[in-house]
Structure 1
Amino acid sequence: MKFKQFLINEQNLKELTKHYTGALPIACYETTILEHASGYIPLHWHDEIQLIYVLKGEAVFQVNEEKIKLRSGDGLFINSGCLHMAEDLKKTGCVYICLNVLPHLFLPQELYTTYVLPYVQSTNLSYVLIDGSKEWSRAIQQALFVIRKLVQTKEPLFEIEITANLIKVWKQLLVHAFQKRYVYTEEVKNQRIKAMLTWVHMNYSEKITLDDIAASGQISRSECCRYFKRMLDVTPLQYVMKYRIQKSILLLKQEEKSITDVAFEVGFNSTSYFIDQFKKMMGMTPLAYRKGKL
Protein backbone atom coordinates (compact mmCIF):
# COMPACT_ATOMS: atom_id res chain seq x y z
CA MET A 1 0.00 0.00 0.00
CA LYS A 2 1.24 3.48 -0.89
CA PHE A 3 0.38 6.44 1.30
CA LYS A 4 0.13 9.83 -0.42
CA GLN A 5 -1.75 12.07 1.98
CA PHE A 6 -2.78 12.22 5.62
CA LEU A 7 -4.90 14.57 7.67
CA ILE A 8 -3.28 16.93 10.16
CA ASN A 9 -5.03 18.99 12.80
CA GLU A 10 -4.17 22.45 11.51
CA GLN A 11 -4.25 23.95 14.97
CA ASN A 12 -1.88 21.69 16.89
CA LEU A 13 -0.16 19.78 14.00
CA LYS A 14 -1.22 16.38 15.33
CA GLU A 15 -1.79 13.76 12.65
CA LEU A 16 -5.42 12.60 12.64
CA THR A 17 -4.91 9.28 10.82
CA LYS A 18 -5.99 6.24 12.83
CA HIS A 19 -3.28 3.61 12.47
CA TYR A 20 -4.83 0.17 12.83
CA THR A 21 -4.30 -3.22 11.21
CA GLY A 22 -6.88 -5.70 12.38
CA ALA A 23 -6.89 -5.52 16.16
CA LEU A 24 -3.45 -3.92 16.38
CA PRO A 25 -2.67 -0.17 16.68
CA ILE A 26 -0.19 -0.35 13.82
CA ALA A 27 0.18 0.74 10.20
CA CYS A 28 2.87 -0.07 7.65
CA TYR A 29 2.95 1.51 4.20
CA GLU A 30 5.18 2.94 1.48
CA THR A 31 5.50 6.68 0.93
CA THR A 32 6.92 8.53 -2.08
CA ILE A 33 7.67 12.01 -0.78
CA LEU A 34 7.20 13.87 -4.07
CA GLU A 35 3.77 12.25 -4.60
CA HIS A 36 2.44 13.77 -1.40
CA ALA A 37 -0.16 16.49 -1.94
CA SER A 38 2.29 19.14 -0.67
CA GLY A 39 5.32 17.77 -2.53
CA TYR A 40 6.90 17.03 0.86
CA ILE A 41 5.85 15.51 4.19
CA PRO A 42 4.65 18.50 6.24
CA LEU A 43 5.51 19.15 9.87
CA HIS A 44 3.38 17.01 12.20
CA TRP A 45 3.46 14.72 15.23
CA HIS A 46 1.54 11.74 16.55
CA ASP A 47 1.34 9.48 19.58
CA GLU A 48 2.76 6.54 17.65
CA ILE A 49 6.45 5.73 17.44
CA GLN A 50 7.55 5.81 13.80
CA LEU A 51 10.17 3.61 12.15
CA ILE A 52 11.38 4.44 8.65
CA TYR A 53 13.43 2.51 6.10
CA VAL A 54 14.49 4.18 2.85
CA LEU A 55 14.03 1.93 -0.17
CA LYS A 56 15.12 4.38 -2.87
CA GLY A 57 16.70 7.83 -3.25
CA GLU A 58 17.53 10.16 -0.38
CA ALA A 59 15.74 12.68 1.78
CA VAL A 60 16.24 15.09 4.65
CA PHE A 61 14.12 14.29 7.70
CA GLN A 62 13.72 16.86 10.44
CA VAL A 63 12.87 15.75 13.99
CA ASN A 64 12.31 18.64 16.38
CA GLU A 65 15.43 20.80 15.76
CA GLU A 66 17.61 18.16 14.14
CA LYS A 67 17.98 17.47 10.40
CA ILE A 68 19.03 13.98 9.34
CA LYS A 69 19.96 12.94 5.81
CA LEU A 70 18.87 9.41 4.91
CA ARG A 71 19.92 7.44 1.84
CA SER A 72 18.75 4.12 0.45
CA GLY A 73 19.36 1.46 3.09
CA ASP A 74 19.19 3.85 6.06
CA GLY A 75 16.46 3.97 8.67
CA LEU A 76 15.16 6.25 11.40
CA PHE A 77 13.41 5.87 14.76
CA ILE A 78 11.15 8.85 15.60
CA ASN A 79 9.85 8.97 19.15
CA SER A 80 6.25 9.52 20.17
CA GLY A 81 5.13 13.15 20.25
CA CYS A 82 8.09 14.57 18.31
CA LEU A 83 7.53 17.09 15.53
CA HIS A 84 8.89 15.83 12.21
CA MET A 85 8.80 16.40 8.45
CA ALA A 86 10.62 15.15 5.34
CA GLU A 87 11.75 16.63 2.03
CA ASP A 88 13.22 15.10 -1.13
CA LEU A 89 15.37 18.16 -1.78
CA LYS A 90 17.27 16.70 -4.74
CA LYS A 91 14.14 15.21 -6.36
CA THR A 92 15.58 11.69 -6.12
CA GLY A 93 12.17 10.02 -6.05
CA CYS A 94 12.70 8.97 -2.45
CA VAL A 95 10.51 6.04 -1.37
CA TYR A 96 10.47 4.71 2.18
CA ILE A 97 8.65 2.17 4.33
CA CYS A 98 6.89 3.79 7.28
CA LEU A 99 5.83 1.80 10.35
CA ASN A 100 3.66 3.58 12.94
CA VAL A 101 3.13 1.77 16.26
CA LEU A 102 1.66 2.88 19.58
CA PRO A 103 4.39 2.40 22.22
CA HIS A 104 2.51 -0.10 24.38
CA LEU A 105 2.54 -2.66 21.55
CA PHE A 106 6.31 -3.24 21.64
CA LEU A 107 6.37 -5.23 24.89
CA PRO A 108 3.88 -6.94 27.21
CA GLN A 109 2.26 -4.80 29.88
CA GLU A 110 4.43 -6.28 32.63
CA LEU A 111 7.59 -5.06 30.86
CA TYR A 112 6.29 -1.80 29.41
CA THR A 113 6.89 0.39 32.48
CA THR A 114 10.53 -0.71 32.80
CA TYR A 115 11.66 -1.15 29.22
CA VAL A 116 9.50 1.16 27.08
CA LEU A 117 7.96 4.05 29.02
CA PRO A 118 11.24 5.63 30.25
CA TYR A 119 12.51 5.86 26.67
CA VAL A 120 9.24 7.20 25.27
CA GLN A 121 9.33 9.92 27.93
CA SER A 122 13.04 10.68 27.51
CA THR A 123 13.11 14.13 25.93
CA ASN A 124 16.66 13.78 24.63
CA LEU A 125 15.63 10.71 22.64
CA SER A 126 13.70 12.33 19.81
CA TYR A 127 15.24 10.13 17.10
CA VAL A 128 17.82 7.44 16.37
CA LEU A 129 19.59 7.04 13.03
CA ILE A 130 19.47 3.39 11.96
CA ASP A 131 22.63 3.16 9.85
CA GLY A 132 22.16 0.51 7.18
CA SER A 133 25.82 -0.56 7.44
CA LYS A 134 25.44 -1.78 11.03
CA GLU A 135 24.51 -5.38 11.76
CA TRP A 136 21.95 -4.43 14.42
CA SER A 137 20.39 -1.95 11.99
CA ARG A 138 19.99 -4.65 9.37
CA ALA A 139 18.19 -6.81 11.95
CA ILE A 140 15.67 -3.99 12.46
CA GLN A 141 15.25 -3.49 8.73
CA GLN A 142 14.62 -7.20 8.19
CA ALA A 143 11.92 -7.13 10.87
CA LEU A 144 10.29 -4.17 9.11
CA PHE A 145 10.14 -6.11 5.85
CA VAL A 146 8.52 -9.03 7.63
CA ILE A 147 5.97 -6.74 9.32
CA ARG A 148 5.14 -5.03 6.02
CA LYS A 149 4.47 -8.41 4.39
CA LEU A 150 2.30 -9.55 7.30
CA VAL A 151 0.25 -6.33 7.18
CA GLN A 152 -0.33 -6.86 3.46
CA THR A 153 -1.07 -10.60 3.44
CA LYS A 154 -2.74 -11.02 6.86
CA GLU A 155 -1.67 -14.63 7.06
CA PRO A 156 -3.07 -16.82 9.87
CA LEU A 157 -1.83 -15.60 13.27
CA PHE A 158 -0.27 -12.55 11.59
CA GLU A 159 -0.92 -10.36 14.65
CA ILE A 160 1.21 -12.67 16.78
CA GLU A 161 4.00 -12.67 14.19
CA ILE A 162 3.90 -8.86 14.01
CA THR A 163 4.16 -8.65 17.81
CA ALA A 164 7.12 -11.04 17.82
CA ASN A 165 8.97 -8.90 15.28
CA LEU A 166 8.21 -5.70 17.20
CA ILE A 167 9.89 -7.26 20.25
CA LYS A 168 12.95 -7.98 18.08
CA VAL A 169 13.03 -4.35 16.92
CA TRP A 170 12.73 -2.96 20.44
CA LYS A 171 15.46 -5.26 21.78
CA GLN A 172 17.90 -4.05 19.11
CA LEU A 173 17.09 -0.42 19.90
CA LEU A 174 17.48 -1.01 23.65
CA VAL A 175 20.83 -2.74 23.33
CA HIS A 176 22.43 -0.58 20.65
CA ALA A 177 20.75 2.81 20.41
CA PHE A 178 18.91 4.15 23.45
CA GLN A 179 20.22 6.29 26.25
CA LYS A 180 17.78 6.98 29.07
CA ARG A 181 18.10 10.52 30.33
CA TYR A 182 15.36 13.04 31.14
CA VAL A 183 16.10 16.65 30.23
CA TYR A 184 13.37 19.04 31.40
CA THR A 185 14.56 21.92 29.23
CA GLU A 186 14.08 19.80 26.08
CA GLU A 187 10.46 19.11 27.03
CA VAL A 188 9.85 22.81 27.62
CA LYS A 189 11.28 23.72 24.19
CA ASN A 190 9.14 21.13 22.47
CA GLN A 191 5.96 22.35 24.16
CA ARG A 192 6.74 26.02 23.46
CA ILE A 193 7.30 25.57 19.72
CA LYS A 194 4.08 23.54 19.50
CA ALA A 195 2.23 26.31 21.34
CA MET A 196 3.57 29.01 19.00
CA LEU A 197 2.82 27.03 15.83
CA THR A 198 -0.69 26.26 17.10
CA TRP A 199 -1.29 29.96 17.77
CA VAL A 200 -0.13 30.90 14.25
CA HIS A 201 -2.40 28.27 12.69
CA MET A 202 -5.38 29.59 14.62
CA ASN A 203 -4.71 33.26 13.84
CA TYR A 204 -3.02 33.33 10.41
CA SER A 205 -5.91 35.24 8.81
CA GLU A 206 -5.47 38.14 11.26
CA LYS A 207 -2.68 40.67 11.65
CA ILE A 208 0.25 38.95 13.37
CA THR A 209 3.34 40.49 14.92
CA LEU A 210 6.50 38.97 16.35
CA ASP A 211 5.34 40.06 19.81
CA ASP A 212 2.12 38.07 19.35
CA ILE A 213 3.96 34.86 18.46
CA ALA A 214 6.49 35.25 21.27
CA ALA A 215 3.70 35.87 23.79
CA SER A 216 1.94 32.66 22.74
CA GLY A 217 5.07 30.73 23.72
CA GLN A 218 5.65 32.85 26.83
CA ILE A 219 9.17 33.80 25.71
CA SER A 220 11.00 36.92 24.53
CA ARG A 221 11.11 38.10 20.92
CA SER A 222 14.76 37.11 20.53
CA GLU A 223 14.21 33.66 22.03
CA CYS A 224 11.19 33.20 19.76
CA CYS A 225 13.37 33.92 16.72
CA ARG A 226 15.97 31.42 17.93
CA TYR A 227 13.31 28.72 18.38
CA PHE A 228 12.01 29.14 14.81
CA LYS A 229 15.50 29.34 13.32
CA ARG A 230 16.63 26.16 15.09
CA MET A 231 13.46 24.20 14.42
CA LEU A 232 12.28 25.43 11.02
CA ASP A 233 15.20 27.44 9.61
CA VAL A 234 12.97 30.48 9.09
CA THR A 235 12.03 33.54 11.10
CA PRO A 236 8.63 33.52 12.84
CA LEU A 237 7.14 35.97 10.31
CA GLN A 238 8.58 33.99 7.39
CA TYR A 239 6.77 30.97 8.77
CA VAL A 240 3.53 32.96 8.92
CA MET A 241 4.02 33.97 5.28
CA LYS A 242 4.72 30.38 4.23
CA TYR A 243 1.66 29.10 6.08
CA ARG A 244 -0.58 31.76 4.52
CA ILE A 245 0.60 30.79 1.04
CA GLN A 246 -0.06 27.11 1.83
CA LYS A 247 -3.60 27.95 2.92
CA SER A 248 -4.15 30.08 -0.18
CA ILE A 249 -3.29 27.11 -2.41
CA LEU A 250 -6.34 25.26 -1.08
CA LEU A 251 -8.60 28.26 -1.62
CA LEU A 252 -7.38 28.85 -5.19
CA LYS A 253 -8.94 25.52 -6.14
CA GLN A 254 -12.35 27.05 -5.42
CA GLU A 255 -13.23 28.80 -8.69
CA GLU A 256 -15.88 31.01 -7.13
CA LYS A 257 -13.28 32.86 -5.05
CA SER A 258 -11.43 35.74 -6.68
CA ILE A 259 -7.70 36.26 -6.17
CA THR A 260 -8.53 39.24 -3.95
CA ASP A 261 -10.94 37.13 -1.88
CA VAL A 262 -8.23 34.53 -1.34
CA ALA A 263 -5.64 37.15 -0.43
CA PHE A 264 -7.77 38.74 2.28
CA GLU A 265 -9.04 35.40 3.58
CA VAL A 266 -5.51 34.21 4.40
CA GLY A 267 -4.41 37.44 6.05
CA PHE A 268 -3.01 39.70 3.31
CA ASN A 269 -4.29 43.29 3.24
CA SER A 270 -3.04 43.88 -0.32
CA THR A 271 -3.76 41.75 -3.39
CA SER A 272 -0.59 42.90 -5.14
CA TYR A 273 1.53 41.93 -2.11
CA PHE A 274 -0.14 38.52 -2.02
CA ILE A 275 0.60 37.97 -5.70
CA ASP A 276 4.22 39.05 -5.23
CA GLN A 277 4.78 36.72 -2.24
CA PHE A 278 2.97 33.81 -3.91
CA LYS A 279 5.16 34.17 -6.99
CA LYS A 280 8.34 34.24 -4.87
CA MET A 281 7.38 31.03 -3.11
CA MET A 282 5.65 29.08 -5.90
CA GLY A 283 7.43 30.40 -9.01
CA MET A 284 4.18 31.55 -10.63
CA THR A 285 1.28 33.89 -9.97
CA PRO A 286 -1.84 32.72 -8.11
CA LEU A 287 -3.82 32.98 -11.36
CA ALA A 288 -1.33 30.84 -13.26
CA TYR A 289 -1.38 28.29 -10.45
CA ARG A 290 -5.20 28.20 -10.50
CA LYS A 291 -5.31 27.71 -14.29
CA GLY A 292 -2.77 24.92 -14.08
CA LYS A 293 -4.64 23.08 -11.34
CA LEU A 294 -8.12 23.52 -12.80
Structure 2
Amino acid sequence: MGNGFITSIEHFKPHTFQAEQGEGLYISHSHDYDELTLILDGEGYYSSAEQNIKVSKGDLILIPSQLHHGFVCIKPWKGISVHFIFDKIPAYCQYLFLNAYQKPLHIRISHLQEEHLKWANISLLQLELEWKIEEKSEYSYDLMRNILETVLLLHHKNMITPQLLPEKTDDSLIIQEVLREIHRRYNTSITINEIASRHFLSESLLRRKFSEMLGISPKQYIINLRLEEAKRLLQQTNRAIEYISSEVGFTSSSRFYDLFVKWVGMTPMEWRKLNE
Protein backbone atom coordinates (compact mmCIF):
# COMPACT_ATOMS: atom_id res chain seq x y z
CA MET A 1 0.00 0.00 0.00
CA GLY A 2 2.95 2.35 0.63
CA ASN A 3 2.13 5.80 1.97
CA GLY A 4 -1.01 6.21 -0.13
CA PHE A 5 -1.94 9.63 -1.45
CA ILE A 6 0.27 11.79 0.80
CA THR A 7 3.67 12.99 -0.42
CA SER A 8 4.72 14.91 2.70
CA ILE A 9 3.49 16.50 5.92
CA GLU A 10 5.37 19.51 7.23
CA HIS A 11 5.18 21.54 10.43
CA PHE A 12 6.25 25.17 10.59
CA LYS A 13 6.91 26.98 13.85
CA PRO A 14 7.40 30.55 15.08
CA HIS A 15 10.59 32.14 13.84
CA THR A 16 12.08 35.58 13.46
CA PHE A 17 13.31 37.40 10.38
CA GLN A 18 16.37 39.55 9.91
CA ALA A 19 14.21 42.38 8.67
CA GLU A 20 12.32 45.43 9.75
CA GLN A 21 9.31 44.96 12.01
CA GLY A 22 6.37 43.60 10.04
CA GLU A 23 8.48 42.64 7.01
CA GLY A 24 8.93 38.96 6.29
CA LEU A 25 10.63 36.93 3.59
CA TYR A 26 8.36 36.39 0.58
CA ILE A 27 8.46 32.85 -0.84
CA SER A 28 7.08 32.32 -4.35
CA HIS A 29 6.74 28.90 -5.95
CA SER A 30 4.49 26.23 -7.45
CA HIS A 31 4.45 22.46 -7.02
CA ASP A 32 3.17 19.25 -8.59
CA TYR A 33 1.13 18.25 -5.55
CA ASP A 34 -1.99 19.78 -3.99
CA GLU A 35 -1.71 21.38 -0.57
CA LEU A 36 -3.83 21.78 2.54
CA THR A 37 -2.40 24.12 5.20
CA LEU A 38 -3.79 24.90 8.66
CA ILE A 39 -2.56 28.06 10.40
CA LEU A 40 -2.34 27.48 14.17
CA ASP A 41 -0.87 30.83 15.18
CA GLY A 42 0.60 34.04 13.76
CA GLU A 43 -0.27 36.09 10.70
CA GLY A 44 0.72 36.53 7.08
CA TYR A 45 -0.43 36.65 3.48
CA TYR A 46 -0.95 34.14 0.67
CA SER A 47 -1.08 35.49 -2.88
CA SER A 48 -1.37 34.44 -6.50
CA ALA A 49 -1.77 36.38 -9.75
CA GLU A 50 -5.37 37.27 -8.88
CA GLN A 51 -5.43 37.05 -5.10
CA ASN A 52 -3.91 38.49 -1.99
CA ILE A 53 -5.33 36.90 1.17
CA LYS A 54 -4.49 37.78 4.74
CA VAL A 55 -4.33 34.65 6.92
CA SER A 56 -4.12 34.10 10.67
CA LYS A 57 -4.85 31.55 13.37
CA GLY A 58 -7.74 29.27 12.40
CA ASP A 59 -7.42 29.66 8.63
CA LEU A 60 -7.49 26.50 6.55
CA ILE A 61 -6.01 26.97 3.07
CA LEU A 62 -6.37 24.82 -0.06
CA ILE A 63 -3.89 25.31 -2.91
CA PRO A 64 -4.17 23.36 -6.19
CA SER A 65 -1.12 21.93 -7.94
CA GLN A 66 0.63 24.04 -10.61
CA LEU A 67 -0.70 27.31 -9.18
CA HIS A 68 2.16 29.79 -8.83
CA HIS A 69 1.65 31.37 -5.45
CA GLY A 70 3.53 33.01 -2.65
CA PHE A 71 3.35 33.50 1.06
CA VAL A 72 4.89 35.83 3.57
CA CYS A 73 4.86 35.67 7.38
CA ILE A 74 4.50 39.04 9.11
CA LYS A 75 3.87 37.75 12.65
CA PRO A 76 5.71 34.53 13.58
CA TRP A 77 3.38 31.70 12.69
CA LYS A 78 3.05 27.97 13.13
CA GLY A 79 0.92 25.38 11.42
CA ILE A 80 0.83 22.15 9.48
CA SER A 81 0.80 21.49 5.73
CA VAL A 82 -0.31 18.29 4.03
CA HIS A 83 0.86 17.69 0.46
CA PHE A 84 -0.92 15.05 -1.58
CA ILE A 85 -1.50 13.73 -5.09
CA PHE A 86 -5.04 14.55 -6.22
CA ASP A 87 -5.33 11.54 -8.54
CA LYS A 88 -4.59 9.19 -5.63
CA ILE A 89 -7.02 10.54 -3.03
CA PRO A 90 -10.38 8.74 -2.63
CA ALA A 91 -13.23 9.76 -4.93
CA TYR A 92 -15.27 11.64 -2.32
CA CYS A 93 -12.20 13.59 -1.24
CA GLN A 94 -11.64 14.48 -4.90
CA TYR A 95 -15.18 15.77 -5.10
CA LEU A 96 -14.78 17.85 -1.93
CA PHE A 97 -11.45 19.24 -3.08
CA LEU A 98 -12.65 20.21 -6.57
CA ASN A 99 -15.95 21.57 -5.27
CA ALA A 100 -14.02 23.86 -2.95
CA TYR A 101 -12.62 25.75 -5.93
CA GLN A 102 -15.64 26.43 -8.16
CA LYS A 103 -13.17 28.31 -10.34
CA PRO A 104 -9.89 26.48 -11.16
CA LEU A 105 -6.47 27.52 -9.91
CA HIS A 106 -7.52 29.75 -7.05
CA ILE A 107 -6.41 29.63 -3.45
CA ARG A 108 -9.42 28.84 -1.27
CA ILE A 109 -9.66 29.66 2.42
CA SER A 110 -11.94 28.90 5.35
CA HIS A 111 -11.80 30.24 8.89
CA LEU A 112 -12.28 27.75 11.73
CA GLN A 113 -13.50 28.83 15.13
CA GLU A 114 -11.78 27.41 18.21
CA GLU A 115 -13.61 24.07 18.43
CA HIS A 116 -13.31 23.35 14.71
CA LEU A 117 -9.67 24.44 14.80
CA LYS A 118 -8.94 21.92 17.56
CA TRP A 119 -10.81 19.24 15.61
CA ALA A 120 -8.86 19.93 12.41
CA ASN A 121 -5.51 20.04 14.22
CA ILE A 122 -6.12 16.74 16.03
CA SER A 123 -7.29 15.19 12.74
CA LEU A 124 -4.15 16.25 10.86
CA LEU A 125 -1.88 15.02 13.64
CA GLN A 126 -3.64 11.65 13.53
CA LEU A 127 -3.32 11.63 9.75
CA GLU A 128 0.42 12.13 10.14
CA LEU A 129 0.69 9.24 12.61
CA GLU A 130 -1.09 6.87 10.21
CA TRP A 131 0.97 8.11 7.25
CA LYS A 132 4.27 7.44 9.06
CA ILE A 133 3.45 3.83 9.93
CA GLU A 134 5.66 1.69 7.70
CA GLU A 135 3.58 -1.48 7.86
CA LYS A 136 0.04 -0.24 7.53
CA SER A 137 -2.92 -2.37 8.54
CA GLU A 138 -5.96 -2.98 6.38
CA TYR A 139 -7.67 -0.09 8.18
CA SER A 140 -4.95 2.52 7.72
CA TYR A 141 -6.14 3.68 4.32
CA ASP A 142 -9.74 4.00 5.57
CA LEU A 143 -8.57 6.02 8.58
CA MET A 144 -6.52 8.36 6.37
CA ARG A 145 -9.43 8.75 3.97
CA ASN A 146 -11.89 9.52 6.78
CA ILE A 147 -9.52 12.05 8.35
CA LEU A 148 -8.99 13.89 5.07
CA GLU A 149 -12.74 13.88 4.43
CA THR A 150 -13.32 15.36 7.90
CA VAL A 151 -10.89 18.23 7.36
CA LEU A 152 -12.27 18.98 3.88
CA LEU A 153 -15.81 19.00 5.26
CA LEU A 154 -14.72 21.45 7.97
CA HIS A 155 -13.31 23.59 5.17
CA HIS A 156 -16.62 23.59 3.28
CA LYS A 157 -18.61 24.35 6.42
CA ASN A 158 -16.50 27.42 7.15
CA MET A 159 -15.49 28.55 3.67
CA ILE A 160 -14.90 32.24 2.92
CA THR A 161 -15.74 33.81 -0.44
CA PRO A 162 -12.47 33.97 -2.43
CA GLN A 163 -10.82 37.37 -2.62
CA LEU A 164 -9.78 38.29 -6.15
CA LEU A 165 -7.79 41.45 -6.68
CA PRO A 166 -9.86 42.75 -9.65
CA GLU A 167 -12.99 42.72 -7.49
CA LYS A 168 -11.45 44.86 -4.77
CA THR A 169 -10.49 48.51 -4.51
CA ASP A 170 -8.72 50.83 -6.94
CA ASP A 171 -5.62 50.44 -4.78
CA SER A 172 -5.79 46.69 -5.32
CA LEU A 173 -5.96 47.16 -9.08
CA ILE A 174 -2.91 49.41 -8.97
CA ILE A 175 -0.94 46.95 -6.85
CA GLN A 176 -1.96 44.12 -9.18
CA GLU A 177 -0.51 46.07 -12.12
CA VAL A 178 2.62 46.82 -10.09
CA LEU A 179 3.02 43.12 -9.33
CA ARG A 180 2.68 42.21 -12.99
CA GLU A 181 5.31 44.78 -13.92
CA ILE A 182 7.67 43.55 -11.22
CA HIS A 183 7.32 39.95 -12.34
CA ARG A 184 8.02 40.96 -15.94
CA ARG A 185 11.01 43.18 -15.16
CA TYR A 186 12.50 42.07 -11.84
CA ASN A 187 15.75 41.06 -13.60
CA THR A 188 16.30 44.52 -15.07
CA SER A 189 17.45 47.75 -13.45
CA ILE A 190 13.90 48.49 -12.32
CA THR A 191 13.42 51.08 -9.54
CA ILE A 192 10.51 51.70 -7.20
CA ASN A 193 10.49 55.39 -8.15
CA GLU A 194 10.15 54.47 -11.83
CA ILE A 195 7.22 52.13 -11.14
CA ALA A 196 5.52 54.68 -8.88
CA SER A 197 5.76 57.47 -11.45
CA ARG A 198 4.13 55.26 -14.09
CA HIS A 199 1.11 54.97 -11.81
CA PHE A 200 1.13 58.67 -10.86
CA LEU A 201 2.10 57.90 -7.26
CA SER A 202 4.92 59.09 -5.06
CA GLU A 203 7.50 56.48 -4.18
CA SER A 204 6.59 56.67 -0.48
CA LEU A 205 2.86 56.24 -1.20
CA LEU A 206 3.48 53.20 -3.40
CA ARG A 207 5.69 51.66 -0.73
CA ARG A 208 2.96 52.17 1.88
CA LYS A 209 0.12 50.80 -0.27
CA PHE A 210 2.22 47.84 -1.40
CA SER A 211 3.33 46.96 2.14
CA GLU A 212 -0.22 47.29 3.51
CA MET A 213 -1.57 44.85 0.93
CA LEU A 214 1.25 42.29 0.75
CA GLY A 215 2.96 42.61 4.11
CA ILE A 216 6.33 43.24 2.47
CA SER A 217 7.99 46.25 0.84
CA PRO A 218 8.25 46.41 -2.99
CA LYS A 219 12.05 46.53 -2.72
CA GLN A 220 12.17 43.35 -0.66
CA TYR A 221 9.65 41.70 -2.99
CA ILE A 222 11.97 42.33 -5.95
CA ILE A 223 15.02 41.12 -4.03
CA ASN A 224 13.24 37.91 -3.05
CA LEU A 225 12.16 37.22 -6.63
CA ARG A 226 15.76 37.66 -7.76
CA LEU A 227 17.06 35.34 -5.04
CA GLU A 228 14.48 32.65 -5.86
CA GLU A 229 15.45 32.75 -9.54
CA ALA A 230 19.14 32.69 -8.58
CA LYS A 231 18.55 29.54 -6.52
CA ARG A 232 16.85 27.89 -9.49
CA LEU A 233 19.78 28.73 -11.77
CA LEU A 234 22.32 27.58 -9.17
CA GLN A 235 20.55 24.24 -8.92
CA GLN A 236 19.67 23.63 -12.56
CA THR A 237 22.68 25.11 -14.43
CA ASN A 238 26.47 25.23 -14.17
CA ARG A 239 26.63 28.97 -14.84
CA ALA A 240 29.16 31.02 -12.91
CA ILE A 241 27.83 32.79 -9.82
CA GLU A 242 28.81 36.20 -11.24
CA TYR A 243 26.81 35.43 -14.39
CA ILE A 244 23.77 34.35 -12.36
CA SER A 245 24.00 37.50 -10.26
CA SER A 246 23.76 39.64 -13.39
CA GLU A 247 21.14 37.38 -14.98
CA VAL A 248 18.65 37.91 -12.14
CA GLY A 249 19.13 41.66 -11.99
CA PHE A 250 21.88 42.44 -9.48
CA THR A 251 24.30 45.10 -10.71
CA SER A 252 26.90 44.08 -8.11
CA SER A 253 27.99 40.50 -7.45
CA SER A 254 29.09 41.49 -3.92
CA ARG A 255 25.57 42.83 -3.22
CA PHE A 256 24.11 39.56 -4.49
CA TYR A 257 26.50 37.59 -2.28
CA ASP A 258 25.67 39.61 0.85
CA LEU A 259 21.90 39.37 0.34
CA PHE A 260 22.06 35.67 -0.45
CA VAL A 261 23.97 34.96 2.77
CA LYS A 262 21.59 37.17 4.79
CA TRP A 263 18.35 35.56 3.55
CA VAL A 264 19.44 31.99 2.72
CA GLY A 265 21.94 31.54 5.52
CA MET A 266 24.84 30.32 3.37
CA THR A 267 26.89 31.40 0.37
CA PRO A 268 25.62 30.75 -3.19
CA MET A 269 28.35 28.12 -3.71
CA GLU A 270 27.46 26.36 -0.47
CA TRP A 271 23.79 26.35 -1.45
CA ARG A 272 24.62 24.96 -4.90
CA LYS A 273 26.67 22.10 -3.44
CA LEU A 274 23.97 21.31 -0.88
CA ASN A 275 21.25 21.17 -3.57
CA GLU A 276 23.07 19.40 -6.38
Structure 1 equivalent of residue 73 of structure 2: 87
Deviation at 1:281, TM superposition (A): 8.8
Q: 1:195 to 1:184 in 2, by over 3 A?
A: closer
- Aligned equivalent of 1:68, options 55, 63, 67: 55
Given that 2:11 and 2:79 are in contact with CA atoms closer than 8 Å, whether structure 1 keeps it comes out as yes
Worse overlay, 22-31 or 151-160: 22-31
Given that 2:27 and 2:224 are in contact with CA atoms closer than 8 Å, whether structure 1 keeps it comes out as no
Alignment root-mean-square deviation, CA: 5.2
Structure 1 equivalent of residue 62 of structure 2: 78
* Corresponding letter in the other structure for 1:165: I
Taking the aligned partners of 1:26 and 1:99, their CA distance within structure 2 comes to: 8
Structure 2 equivalent of residue 15 of structure 1: none
The aligned runs of 1:245-260 (5 Å cut-off) are: none
Matched, 1:152 2:138: no
Taking the aligned partners of 1:51 and 1:24, their CA distance within structure 2 comes to: 16
Q: 1:30 to 1:142 in 2, by over 3 A?
A: same
* Corresponding letter in the other structure for 1:62: Y
Given that 1:43 and 1:83 are in contact with CA atoms closer than 8 Å, whether structure 2 keeps it comes out as yes
Taking the aligned partners of 1:197 and 1:252, their CA distance within structure 2 comes to: 22
* Corresponding letter in the other structure for 1:240: I
Matched pairs, number: 239
TM-score by length of 1: 0.55
In structure 1, list runs of 5 or more residues that go unmatched.
1-20, 215-219
Structure 2 equivalent of residue 10 of structure 1: none
Deviation at 1:149, TM superposition (A): 0.5
Given that 1:33 and 1:86 are in contact with CA atoms closer than 8 Å, whether structure 2 keeps it comes out as no
Q: 1:121 to 1:264 in 2, by over 3 A?
A: same
The aligned runs of 1:174-193 (5 Å cut-off) are: 174-175=156-157, 177-179=158-160, 185=166
Q: 1:66 to 1:140 in 2, by over 3 A?
A: same
Taking the aligned partners of 2:161 and 2:231, their CA distance within structure 1 comes to: 43
The aligned runs of 1:1-16 (5 Å cut-off) are: none
* Corresponding letter in the other structure for 1:76: L
Q: 1:228 to 1:174 in 2, by over 3 A?
A: same
Deviation at 1:166, TM superposition (A): 1.3
Identity of aligned residues (%): 13
* Corresponding letter in the other structure for 1:99: V
Q: 1:136 to 1:197 in 2, by over 3 A?
A: same
Q: 1:50 to 1:34 in 2, by over 3 A?
A: same
- Aligned equivalent of 2:81, options 98, 112, 134: 98
TM-superposition CA deviations, 1:159-193 (whole Å, max 9, x none): 22211111111222222x02567969359979978
Taking the aligned partners of 1:290 and 1:125, their CA distance within structure 2 comes to: 32
TM-score by length of 2: 0.58
Taking the aligned partners of 1:234 and 1:182, their CA distance within structure 2 comes to: 21
* Corresponding letter in the other structure for 1:156: S
Structure 1 equivalent of residue 38 of structure 2: 52
- Aligned equivalent of 1:117, options 81, 86, 98: 98
Given that 2:110 and 2:160 are in contact with CA atoms closer than 8 Å, whether structure 1 keeps it comes out as no
Deviation at 1:262, TM superposition (A): 6.3
- Aligned equivalent of 2:92, options 64, 83, 108: 108
Deviation at 1:141, TM superposition (A): 1.7
Secondary structure class of the residue paired with 2:100: helix
Given that 2:45 and 2:72 are in contact with CA atoms closer than 8 Å, whether structure 1 keeps it comes out as yes
In structure 2, list runs of 5 or more residues that go unmatched.
17-23
